[in-house]
Structure 1
Amino acid sequence: MSAQAPAFPTAAPAQPYLDPAAFFAQLQAESAPKPKRRRARLVLRYASALVLAGAIGAGTAYAVSLPRRTDVPFLATPSDGRYTFPVLARPAPPVGEPAPGADSNEAQIHYGDLRQYLLPAPNGAVPKEDGWESVAEFGSSLTDADVPNHLYDAGLRHVARRGWTMPDGQHTVVELLQFPDHQAAYAVQDMVNDAPLAKTYREENVVPVVTVSSFGDATFNVGVRTFDDVTGQPGYKERRVVFGTGDVVAIVTTTEPAAVPVVPTEQVAMLEAQMLR
């Protein structure tokens, strides 16, 4: 049984997180088709009006740039399965230590207790796993017995995890593997992603991708591996997302009834990436 993670007081972040709904709305807006260009004479007709409107509206631009989910017509339904999370705050590094994305932090190290970087459970969740996880226990979820040895060779320091179960039947586990620096983490990221899982088989050929954030304005796409069969749980699927951020390799694993969509898995991966920035 994993030890319960104590509450760690953290300083208020310099900039509050966007709420998960607005975060998704922003991604939808960025991927929407670009509007067709109007004819030149219309541009000339309205150019001065746009300049004036831009000057007047500058003070409210931030308030309207990220509409809430219910304000966007094609996002006005909650049927996509996403969860509601409590207010998220990125952990502040210990006094005197740089943030993982700071220019002075060349190794991109997440200082402080690794468990503080775990995404909190969403509203309505039943808490499950929480705290430190041994490398042996992590390795038992894989069929490749050499993986734990490779992790030790790479200098694995800690494995922190948090898990919960939702009313829709989805069980989510977030695991954070911490290494000495970003180079060590990067060296094993693909191995962890490709390692065969012990209780799943029949992986789907089509691998959707989810966009997660890194430091600064950088983002990258990672695959969502989906397995149609889970040992001992007929009718369930398992989805798995692996990505690296600095000295940490993050793993999001969800096990859910086949009817549960991929959206909540992607949502957890996106928000965990935000926590690690």
Structure 2
Amino acid sequence: MTEQLTETVEPVPAPEPPAPVSATPVPSRTRRVLWAVARWTVAVAVCGGVGAGTTMGITALDRNEVPGLATESDGRWEYPALRLPALPADRPRPFTEGNDAEIHYADARQLLLPAPARATVDPKIDGDWVSEEAYLTGYGKEHRKQVRQILDDTALRHIAGRAWTMPDGTRTSIHLLKFSSVAHADELHRNLTSDGVEVLPAGVGELEILDRVAGDVRVPDVSAYAYGEAKPYGPEQTCWAYIQAGDTLAVVTQTRKGGALTVPFQQTVALQAQLLG
């Protein structure tokens, strides 16, 4: 069994974000959200297409249950050991006492999930800041004006991003959208997913909410919502997830010719959520 997920004792120092954090406190809340994730043995059985639960996450698990730890044959990708970045002096973690606005004071670029082994990283989206225009290209043309207006209304501070392609053609992109408070991040998510509003990724004609599959694990204070491109789709299928974590909304998107795979999608979403939790 290959070890992929470890907990760092001495975090790696990170640079300050490009703009000072200006948080508007909102009422404190505890969002202990139970995420539904397929047990990885079950997920492998359905890896020909996305069939994950609508929510997923991790906390203290047995070694063979952690998404980053796996044998190569079960379809999981080989991610490097994860590290939480150092915080500026006297700044708390996002879900600790005294941080009612649930602010991530660490540099958002240091909270991005690293690319797995054998990935070809996109040099244009390689763990640095991403412009609003570049982010909007991930949505269908008919939705970009709407998303732009939402971003303008919700006091977006900046976007960090990373993208890569695996040898089987699966393309993954992760964007962390950071706001001045949890209220603004929540507002963006509500506008993107509210009833009757379908803001879809580029190339997607119709979505479906991914059904729950057996197996429960937890990430305190973080929630995620997963979607897949409904059949019939074209030569590629896209699946995506929104991860709500305090002042930050993560958007994870995977596209693959012939159909998106369940296991790496679940694994990627779960590990990114852990870094934000």
TM bucket normalised to smaller: 0.5 to 0.7
Task: Give the structure 2 partner of residue 160 of structure 1.
Answer: 160
Residue identity opposite 1:12 in structure 2: E
| Aligned: 1:225 with 2:228 | yes
Q: Normalising to structure 1: TM-score of the pair? A: 0.67
What fraction of aligned residue pairs are identical, expressed as a percent?
32
Paired with 2:10 and 2:71, the residues of 1 have a C-alpha distance of 32
Unaligned runs of 5+ in 2: 1-7, 13-36, 43-60
Residues 250-259 or 186-195, more deviating:
186-195
The answer to whether structure 1 residue 200 and structure 2 residue 204 are counterparts is yes
Q: Which amino acid aligns with 1:196?
A: L
Q: Tell me how far apart the structure 2 counterparts of residues 250 and 212 of structure 1 sit (CA, whole Å).
A: 19
User: Normalised by the size of structure 2, how large is the TM-score?
Assistant: 0.67
Q: Deviations over 1:45-103 (max 9, x none)?
A: xxxxxxxxxxxxxxxxxxxx714369xxxx98744421011111122221221111111
Change beyond 3 A, Cα 1:115–1:150: same
Are 1:159 and 1:177, in contact at CA under 8 Å, matched by a contact in 2? yes
Bigger helix share: 1
Cα distance in 2 for residues equivalent to 1:212 and 1:239:
21
Report how far residue 224 of structure 1 moved. 2.8
Q: 1:218 Cα deviation (Å)?
A: 4.6
Distance 1:76 1:238, change over 3 A: closer
3-state SS in 2 of match to 1:101 = coil
Give 1:122's aligned residue: 116
Q: Secondary structure, in 3 states, of the residue corresponding to 2:205?
A: strand
- Rg bigger for which structure? 1
In the aligned structure 2, how far is the partner of 1:93 from the partner of 1:256? 36
For residues 135 and 68 of structure 1, what CA distance do their matches in structure 2 show? 39
How far apart are residue 197 of structure 1 and its match?
Answer: 2.6
State the distance in 2 between where 1:67 and 1:150 align: 41
1:176 maps to what in 2?
A: 176
CA contact (8 A) 1:117 1:275 kept: yes
More relative contact order, 1 or 2 (CA 8 Å, 6+ apart): 2
Match of 1:135 in 2: 132
Q: 1:199 to 1:28 in 2, by over 3 A?
A: closer
SS at match of 2:156: coil
Q: After superposition, where does 1:30-179 map in structure 2 within 5 Å?
A: 66-68=62-64, 78-128=72-122, 129-130=125-126, 131-142=128-139, 143-144=142-143, 145-179=145-179
Q: How does 1:10-25 map to 2 (within 5 A)?
A: 12-13=10-11
1:229 positional shift = 6.9
1:113 is displaced (CA, Å) by 1.8
Q: Retained in 2: the 8 A contact 1:213–1:273?
A: no
Structure 2 CA distance for partners of 1:206 and 1:178, relative to 1, 3 Å: closer
How far, CA to CA, are the matches of 1:213 and 1:95 in structure 2? 29
- Secondary structure of the equivalent of 1:253? strand
Mapped contact 2:224–2:244 kept (Cα < 8 A): no
In 1: Cα distance, 2:70 partner to 2:78 partner: 15
